[in-house]
Amino acid sequence: MKKVMLFALSVMMMASASIFAQDVVKTAKDSTATTVTTTTTTKAEPVKTAIKTAELPKPVTDLITSFKAQGWEASENSSSVKQGTADFYEVTFKKTASGETKSIYIDAQGKIVNQ
C-alpha cells in the first residue's frame, strides 16, 4: 500500500511540475514578442511607348535573332517601357511550331529583365 501511495504522490508531483513548466514557457514566449511594423512602397507605374521592333537597339535585336534561331518569331511591334529609373523593352514572341506566345523584357544592353 505504501508503494501505491508513493507512486501516486510522485505522479501528482510530476504532473504539477509539468503544468507549472508550461506556464513558465508560455510566459517567456509572450514576454519576448516583438512588434513588427511594415512599410509599403508604391512602385511607379510603367509607362509604355509603342516602338517598331526594327527600331530597337542593336544588343536587343541580337537577342531577338538568337530567339529566332530557336523557333521564336518577334512581333513587328514592341514597347519601350520606363518604370522609375529603369528603361527596358517589352518584346512579344510567338513560337512558330506551337503558336505559343510570351512577352520578354529586355534592357538596352540585351539582357533579359525579370519583371
Same domain, 57 and 105: yes
Contacting residues for 101 by C-beta, under 8 A, at least 6 apart: 92, 93, 94, 95
The CB-side HSE value for 57 (13 A sphere, CA atoms) comes to 13
Q: What is the pLDDT of residues 5-45, one digit of tens each?
A: 888 888 888 877 777 666 555 555 555 555 666 666 666 78
Element containing residue 96 per DSSP (H, E):
none
Does residue 59 fall inside a structural domain?
yes
> Is residue 63 located within the same domain as residue 106?
yes
Judged against a pLDDT cut of 70, whether residue 74 lies above it is answered with: yes
Question: Count of H helices and E strands in the chain?
Answer: 2, 6
Domain residue limits at 17: 1-32
Global confidence as pTM: 0.57
Q: Is residue 37 part of a domain?
A: no
DSSP H or E segment with residue 115: none
The answer to whether residue 40 is domain-embedded is: no
